A and B are shown apart, each in its own frame.
Chain A
Amino acid sequence: MASVELKDLTKSFGDLTVLHNLNLTVEEGEFVALVGPSGCGKSTLLRIIAGLEEPTSGDLTMDGQWVNDLSPRERNIAMVFQSYALYPHMTVADNMGFNLRISGMGKAEIKQRVEETAEILNLSELMSRKPSQLSGGQRQRVAMGRALVRNPDVFLFDEPLSNLDAKLRVQMREEIKRLHKRVRTTSIYVTHDQIEAMTLADRIVILHGGHIQQVGTPTELYRNPANVFVAGFIGSPSMNFLDATLSTGGDRATLSLKDGQTLHCPLSDRLPAETEVTVGLRPEHLLVAPSGANDNVLHGTLELLEPTGAQNHLRVSINGSTLTAVDNTLASVTVDQPVALTIEPEKIHVFAR
């Protein structure tokens, strides 16, 4: 196991800079997810950590040792690829033992290590098969086995579940989590799926346009997103945003929407200094207001009602914007009729515009 540290890491392809001065420390044994939309640089960052790409500037250290110039093997990292990248002409056992064979390990020891790993991953029955004779989930497990068998210092995952169907993805997600609990190897996991990141990682790094937007535990990111991008990226359905004017007279802050409706939230040092702000309201925090309520209530028209069984998703039009609300109470509301939504003051997010 090893810690991984990036210091002012920058990567450019010609004139295009894809990673800007990244600083990040991944502690020993930690599971960190790199999340962001396509093209945010997360896979490039993973390839730099793996040693498959060179950073343009900055330092990469593992356990305090400068590793910029080391090959993937010398870094003792293992990587699971999105396409699994199994060697098609080798059996499962050969695929898993390839890296041990390269390192000059004896045949008996290779056999023993491969068998032990295969047992952990339930692959013992498949050892003589070729990758083309395996299902997607089995290939995924072989790819993990190939990484696991060599006892690496750091595990790198590059969107390993994105080629699986939804059900299998959930199952493999659990397996990865269980595996990490068992081996406790430092892991860096790239995904564009925030649910995957939230469920697996100890900490999440949100990347956007080659910049780190925020680093934190899943709960921190959900509760205290640093900016509009993080707020919109974490959470499903994603957060609603409204433009508002902030005034801080009295013992609470007042947010005035364009149509004159107001919301109130507690004063805190997290409130931006500007008066023109963006208000963020999570769909699951918006409740259908009981009749007569008048504090922190937004009035609008119900545009669409989407029942999902346990909850209803309401699409409410408020002064030209459409808000999504998740209603767990299954309140009886009618489409095209006025509806009032309310939110607890503490759950209102305010961002500088």
Chain B
Amino acid sequence: MPALTRSLPAVSKHAVMIVGVLVTIFPFVWVAMMGTHTRSEIYSSPPPFYFGDNLISNYERLLEIMPFWLVLWNSLYVSVLGTIGAVFFCSMCAYGFFAYQFRGKNVIFGIMIASMMVPPVLTLIPFFLTVRFLGILDTHFALWFPGVANAFGIFLIRQYMTTSITRDLLDAAKVDGASDFRIYWSVVLPLIKPALATLAIVMFIGLWNNFLTPLIVLSTPEKYVLTLALRSVQSLANSPWGAIMLGTFLSMVPLLVAFLFFSKQMMAGLTAGAVKG
């Protein structure tokens, strides 16, 4: 009995965590299972909670209702370009705020932070009008480019710089003869890798899951990204849910893979400010 009392906190802790994990992964498993059933099986009662044997036919149906691999490529293209662009431009802009003294620096930074408070939905119409004015409507460029210098990324990286880079280090590089860009590239960038990884993964997920921007920007089906393509086939009278679920599951795979590779850096980036000794 005393042994049980002693181990109770640990047991309950584990129980809570296991429940948390189950709740988190349930939708993924559920979607994966649905991807192997036919539409009628999915609508049967109770719904089947096991893997079925219609994977191949669902896959064939998926390719019939949308150019799945083209759409996946479009998503990947937009997300990768947007992520690389954001990591590059946000870190450069953050470096500017971190390393240089200029008139109005704090005011500009303040306005930038304030812009993060504006609900994205409010900017939807202005965004559409701007994109149309620039003549980039119905292009992938309009999906990834506007976000490459975003307030969140600049803020995140600048804050990380202030905790991990000393002014002496910049001065030392200057005395060593490094140009401003060289200091940014050879000294600053390698030291903010965790923050870059965090921003990269946040940007990638954001771009990959983005539905609203493609919805208002894209009109040609060949240019659709996954979110838009999966939604567009649902409007059919007889939605092939098995195929859609399979497509949904396949669209999650790149994110899971990315997380497997970057999770360590991401955690390091998110906790760096908190635990620095």
Residues of chain A touching chain B, judged by Cβ–Cβ distance below 8 Å, are 47, 50-52, 71-73, 77-79, 81-83, 85-89, 98-99, 102-103, 146
Cα(A98)–Cα(B186), bound, Å: 10
- Is there contact, CB below 8 Å, between A102 and B172? no
Is there contact, CB below 8 Å, between A81 and B191?
no
- Chain B nearest CB from A86 CB (Å) reads 8
Closest A residue by C-beta to B166: A83
Asked if A89 meets B177 with Cβ closer than 8 Å, knowing A52-B171, A81-B172, A82-B168, the reply is no
The answer to whether A89 and B191 touch (CB under 8 A), given A50-B175, A102-B178, is yes
Q: What separation, in Å, do the CA atoms of A89 and B172 have in the docked complex?
A: 14
| CA distance in complex: A115, B178 (Å) | 22
B interface secondary structure, majority: helix
Number of A-B contacts (CB under 8 A): 53
Decide: A72 and B190 in contact? CB cutoff 8 A.
no
Tell me the nearest residue of chain B to A81, going by C-beta: B168
Per-residue interface assignment for chain B, residues 173 to 216, with 1 indicating a CB less than 8 Å from any chain A CB and 0 otherwise:
11111100010001100110000000000000000000000000
Given contacts A89-B191, A102-B182, contact A52 B169 (CB under 8 A): no
- The number of chain B residues with a CB under 8 A from chain A is 16
Given A82-B168, A83-B168, are A98 and B175 neighbors across the interface (CB < 8 Å)?
A: no
Footprint of A on B, CB under 8 Å?
166, 168-169, 171-178, 182, 186-187, 190-191
Residues on the B chain within 8 Å of A50, using CB: 171, 175
Known: A71-B177, A73-B176, A146-B176. 9 other contacts (CB 8 A): A52-B171, A73-B177, A78-B175, A85-B166, A87-B169, A87-B187, A98-B186, A102-B178, A103-B177
8 Å CB contact of B175 from A77, A82, A88, A89 = A77
B191/A72 in contact, CB under 8 A: no
**A72 in contact with B166 given A79-B172, A85-B171, A88-B191 (CB within 8 Å):** no
Are B176 and A98 in contact, with the CB atoms below 8 A? yes
Chain A residue numbers with a CB within 8 Å of B178 are 98, 102
Least distance between A178 CB and chain B CB atoms (Å): 23
Q: Please name all residues of chain A whose beta carbon is closer than 8 Å to the beta carbon of B187 when the two chains form the complex.
A: 87
Bound Cα distance from A98 to B172, whole angstroms: 11
- A103–B179 Cα distance when bound, in Å, is 11
CB <8 Å contact, A81 and B176:
no
Q: Which of A81, A86, A89 contacts B171 (CB 8 A)?
A: A81
A152 closest partner in B (C-beta):
B175
Which residue on chain A has the smallest CB distance to residue B190?
A89
8 contacts between A and B (CB under 8 A): A52-B175, A78-B175, A81-B168, A82-B168, A83-B166, A87-B172, A89-B190, A98-B173
Q: Which residues of B contact A72 (CB under 8 A)?
A: 174-175, 177
- Cα distance, A72 to B175, chains bound together (Å): 5
A200 and B198 alpha carbons, distance in the complex (Å): 49
Which of chain B's residues have a CB closer than 8 A to the CB of A73? 175-177
